[in-house]
Amino acid sequence: MKPRITFNIITLFPETVESMTDYSILGRAIESGIIDIQTYNIRDYGQGKRKQVDDTPFGGGAGMVLKADVMDKAIQKVKEENPGTKVILLTPKGEKYSQKKAGELSKKKNITLISGHYEGFDERIRSFVDEEVSIGDYILTGGELAAVAVVDSVSRLIPGVLGKEESLAKESFEENLLEYPQYTQPREYGGMEVPEILLSGNHAAIERWRREQAEKITRKRRKDLFENNQ
């Protein structure tokens, strides 16, 4: 069976990526052939005996900068092997990632994610990519976690990746709402009771209550999301 979607991840740390994708739901989806994840090691495109991938910044300053020529070679190789792939650079300067974006990407067949590392990358690398994405307003030590966040959030939208039960739980964020509260046994714990309505057996009333709770928490914590619904 051909995978429904292929992710290529260009990184200096393929093992870091694999340690996050080879288990649990993603691991199962790879195993069953629904998704495919290929890593490309930037070091393989490094220069000289020491396979150099970065250098000091022109103009001075701290840290090392990933080289444009090295990255160009790596990206070209991925494009050669994956014609038509959508190339996305993970960077705090990118467009803010969202559930909506995950939905759009889940329609693609082939996506390439570039994880920068160290202190930065040569500005010219931007000209080799289709898009730049940030997963939030904070700085990670590398783009691997960000790339895996994209892989994970896109994969769970691919039919068959989540089981039936799991896929029910995915609804709420797609409506720009945070999730309603959930409870299980015991009915009382440390003086905290499960809301009576959930024990009522009245499914319509439970549905209504859950919707109200979702709206209430979203209005309180995430006005920005809530206002998108109005």
- The residues binding ligand ADE (CB under 6 A) are 90-92, 134-136, 138-140, 143, 146
The per-residue DSSP string of 147-190 comes to HHHHHHHHHTTSTTTS-HHHHHTTHHHHTT-PPPP---S-SEET
Q: Quote the strand ranges of 43-106, DSSP E.
A: 54-55, 65-66, 86-96
Nearer to ligand ADE, 96 or 187 (CB): 96
Nearest-approach distance from CB 175 to ligand ADE, in angstroms: 25
DSSP three-state, residue 178: coil
- Shortest separation between residue 146's beta carbon and ligand ADE, angstroms: 3
State the minimum distance, in angstroms, from the CB of residue 190 to ligand ADE. Answer: 37
Nearer to ligand ADE, 17 or 214 (CB): 17
Residue 126 beta carbon to ligand ADE: minimum distance, rounded to whole angstroms: 13
Separation in Å, CA 58 to CA 55, 76, 118, 121, 125: 9, 25, 16, 12, 15
Look at strands 131-134 and 188-189 and give their pairing. Answer: unpaired
